[in-house]
Amino acid sequence: MTLLAIETSCDETSTAVVRGGCVLSNVTSSQTAIHAEYGGVVPELAAREHLRNLIPVTKQALREANVTPAELDAVAATRGPGLPNALLAGLKMATALAFSLRKPILGIHHHEAHLYSPWILTDPPRADFEQFEPSVSLIVSGGHTLLVLVEEIFRHRVLGSTLDDAAGECFDKTGKLMGLAYPAGPEIDRLAATGNPKAYPFPRPLLNEPNDDFSFAGLKTSVRYFLEKNPTLADDPQKLRDVCASVQAAIVDVLVTKTVRAARRLGRRCVTVSGGVACNSALRRQLASACQEAGLKLRLSDRKFSTDNAAMIGILAERKWMAGLAEISVDAEIEPSWAL
Ligand code: KG4
Ligand code: ZN
């Protein structure tokens, strides 16, 4: 089948064309520059930009895939969770297209798409579900931090989640305190590469608690107090790099330790990691060595499919369609707080 997928849950307008498990195109227009001015995503601006970008991005995705609308067998879109008006823009555009083509419309869960994105290969981009195996899976993004037990495709259970801020939010908010532009995650990653991760011992929240939950608000507050006590620190380039490396180490230590611990406790052989924070170099490196040490197989989403993208929506939608799942009616509503 040939399927068009649309993702607009936050600040990326993304459209992909997927056929037979292959990603024929995946076009994303990022709004980062617009929101950077405000230090975070402004929901109204995000929705307005999606409305502006959806048609050109969709046309480009069809052109790059060399597919005409008449050749589409279905249209998929992110139904939730996400910013309500941002979701609405993508879902309604997808619904209108599906309705006009008299084709089914599929509503996809954003986190479920992240969850299965480590099973997308890159060269060429295509689904690799033949290699699928049960896993303990970490989803780390700007909006969520979830640890999930995946028994089989579409049979999964949330083990734990963040009690307050998400890991990406912690990167972004502590970076903002240091004067870095939004989103600060990639910049902290870059600066931390030449910083000392042991320079400042920031707390590792819930690290030793016997549960699979996370909490990052306390870490952010501790960085805030630390910077208030050391107001000139961010002006010294080496010290700034040391703070970045130390904050990153605190976040990564918690994520890696709790993920590997859950996998061992539950007797899983495979760990997968996805979501925007899965791009982080220290997380990727530390996970690789912790998994190797614990005899676990590690499957990381490729950086291209870690941050929000429509390819992961399309790959999951096609799979769901084949399983007889995910079709919704043309007047289905968005699900901004859809639980996984
Ligand atoms: O999955 P995503 O694109 O959007 C959400 O669903 O939230 O994730 C965006 C998040 C942002 O918080 C961003 O700072 C973070 O992913 N991020 C990173 C890196 N690249 C993106 N955080 C740390 N290191 C990175 N290299
Ligand atoms: Zn996401």
Residue 11 Cβ < 6 Å to ligand 1 = no
Q: Is residue 326 a contact partner of residue 127, using CB atoms and an 8 Å limit?
A: no
Q: For the domain made up of 2-128+305-328, give the CATH fold.
A: Nucleotidyltransferase; domain 5 (3.30.420)
Instruction: Show pLDDT as tens, one digit a residue, over the chain (340 residues).
Output: 999 999 999 999 999 999 999 999 999 999 999 999 998 999 999 999 999 999 999 999 999 999 999 999 999 999 999 999 999 999 999 999 999 999 999 999 999 999 999 999 999 999 999 999 999 999 999 999 999 999 999 999 999 999 999 999 999 999 999 999 999 999 999 999 999 999 999 999 999 999 999 999 999 999 999 999 998 887 899 999 999 999 999 999 999 999 999 999 999 999 999 999 999 999 999 999 999 999 999 999 999 999 999 999 999 999 999 999 999 999 999 999 999 9
277 close to ligand 1 (CB < 6 Angstrom): yes
Residue nearest to atom 10 of ligand 1 (CA): 142
| Interatomic CA distance for residues 139 and 293, integer angstroms | 22
CA of 275 to the centre of ligand 1 (A): 7
Tokens of 328: 């919704």
* pLDDT score, position 210: 93
Residue ID of nearest Cα to ligand 1 atom 16: 276
Residue 141 CA to ligand 2 center (angstroms) comes to 6
The CATH number of 133-301 is 3.30.420.40
175 lines ligand 1 (CB under 6 A): no
Contacts of 178 (CB under 8 A, 6+ apart): 184, 227, 234, 240, 243, 244
Q: Please check whether the two domains, 2-128+305-328 and 133-301, share a CATH topology.
A: yes
Rounded CA separation 188/280 (Å)? 9
Instruction: Please tell me the predicted confidence (pLDDT) of residue 226.
Output: 96
Domain map (residue ranges) of the chain: 2-128+305-328, 133-301
The answer to whether the predicted template modeling score (pTM) of the entire model surpasses 0.95 is yes
Phi, psi of 83 (to 5 degrees): -75, 125
Angle between helices 237-265 and 184-192 (to 10 degrees): 100
**Ligand with smallest separation from the Cα of 277:** 1
Q: From the CB of 205, is ligand 1 less than 6 Å away? A: no
pLDDT of the residue at 235: 85
Please tell me the predicted confidence (pLDDT) of residue 298.
Answer: 98
What pLDDT is attached to residue 105? 97
> 157 has which bridge partners?
149
The finding on whether 82 has its CB within 6 A of some atom of ligand 1 is no
Q: How far apart are CA 65 and CA 125, in angstroms?
A: 12
Cα–Cα distance, 88 to 103 (Å, whole number):
19
Contact between 311 and 26 (Cβ < 8 Å): yes
d(CA 282, CA 338) in angstroms, rounded, equals 30
